[in-house]
Structure 1
Amino acid sequence: MSTRPTAEQRREQVLEAAIHEFAEHGFHATRTAAIARRAGISQPYIYALFPDKKALFLAALEAVRAQVRSAFAAAWRPAATPEGSLAVLGRNYRQALANPDALRCQMQGHAASADPEIRSAVREGYMEVFDLVSKLTGADRGAVTRFMAYGNLLNLGAVLDLPPDYLRID
């Protein structure tokens, strides 16, 4: 006998489907019907879990950010220097790049930032990750800024499938 998924399990299924659909089509072009189909639920059930498409998009962006925070937290090990700590976080982040949907969804958040609510959520999320990296590594603001900038370059390289020579900054 199979058990029915809980509302929380369904919510996770919807978020996974939403990340994929938003990654492919962006905030404005994604249809909740496509998300529901991918999640294997009815479209009205999406609205039982999320009040509207924007709330679902914001939840998808938060889920992606949670993956980044988790990758950094899992990677953190005390290092002799802040630079060494940043290097450890960077290596683990490269593993997170294996999920191109998450990266594209994150970029779709940037693209949809003309909407003030989305822009605010993306900005707050960026600052949250920036502050986490600062706290974990003890690196100064300039080093964390360079780390985050290189992370954005890696994101771009991953979604465009750029050759490694285009991602070197040395």
Structure 2
Amino acid sequence: MSAEERRESVIRAAITEFARGGYNGTSTEAIARRVGVSQPYLFRLFKNKQELFLAAATRCLTDTRLAMAEAARGLEGEDAHMAMAEAYKRLIVEDPDRLLLQMQMFVAVSAAEAAGEHAFGEPIRAGWEELWDSCHLRLGADEKETAHFMSFGMLINVLVSLGFPAGHRVWSGFDMTKVPVPKREQ
């Protein structure tokens, strides 16, 4: 495996480990073990845990943005809205670790900011802003439509992350034929 392929493996493993354990609760040793490399090798690919977390977080945001952009290619208005929503729902059903990593990003940035580490959140904010801008353009640059779209997505994130099953009353405002709720591992 080339160094670039190994780096990709490490990023995928980091997405899973950080999603499940958060920034502070995940060791680089666990990530190295998941990939089958030594911890010193891991640090040849990424200079420290923070750089590895940021690579995983940035990848998650980029993959989300690209999936929604591809789904909405050539579409406008409600068609673009629905295509992006379906693409996002597929992402969180097929790979719930990406959803959980998003939630962990918010916690990690907030904790870093509280500790005075303001630069930690800059790449994550930049990635989230790119996601927002991409959706905004595909939704006709309508600020209210973009806010509505993103806020529904965030509500879905919260409800899925908290493990509310599809039949629970908190989902009552959603058309559940259009919001597949991932099953949680026991």
Query: TM-score surpassing 0.5?
Result: yes
- Structure 1 counterpart of 2:161, one-letter code: V
**Unaligned ranges ≥5, structure 1:** none
Deviation at 1:168, TM superposition (A): 4.6
Confirm whether residue 104 of structure 1 aligns to residue 67 of structure 2.
no
Q: Find out whether 1:145 has 2:147 as its counterpart.
A: yes
Q: CA RMSD in A?
A: 1.6
The alignment covers a number of residue pairs equal to 165
The amino acid of 1:23's aligned partner reads A
CA contact (8 A) 1:15 1:56 kept: yes
The answer to whether the Cα contact below 8 Å between 2:62 and 2:127 also exists between their aligned partners in 1 is no
Contact 2:72 2:83 (C-alpha < 8 Å) held by counterparts = yes
1:45 aligns to 2:49 (yes or no) = no
Instruction: Work out whether residues 11 and 49 of structure 1, in 8 Å CA contact, stay in contact via their aligned partners in 2.
Output: yes
TM-score, normalisation: structure 1: 0.89
Instruction: Determine whether 1:90 maps to 2:85.
Output: yes
- Correspondence for 1:22 among 9, 12, 18: 18
Structure 2 gap segments, 5+ residues each: 113-117, 175-186
State the identity %: 38
C-alpha separation in 2, matches of 1:77 and 1:41: 39
For residues 116-163 of structure 1, give each alpha carbon's deviation from its aligned partner in whole angstroms, at most 9, with x where no partner exists.
233222222221101001122314011101111111112222323323
Query: Could you say what secondary structure the match of 1:41 adopts?
Result: coil
Give the secondary structure class of the aligned counterpart of 1:118: coil
How many angstroms does 1:78 deviate by?
3.2
| Equivalent-residue separation in structure 2 for 1:139 and 1:167 (angstroms) | 28
1:7 aligns to what?
3
TM, length-normalised to structure 2:
0.82
One-letter code aligned to 2:129: M
* Residue identity opposite 2:80 in structure 1: S
Q: Secondary structure at the match of 1:97?
A: helix
Please tell me whether the aligned partners of residues 83 and 139 of structure 1 are also in contact (alpha carbons under 8 angstroms).
Answer: no
Q: CA deviation at 1:59?
A: 0.2
Per-residue Cα deviation, 1:38-80 (whole angstroms, up to 9, x for no partner): 010000011110111000000000111122012112211434x
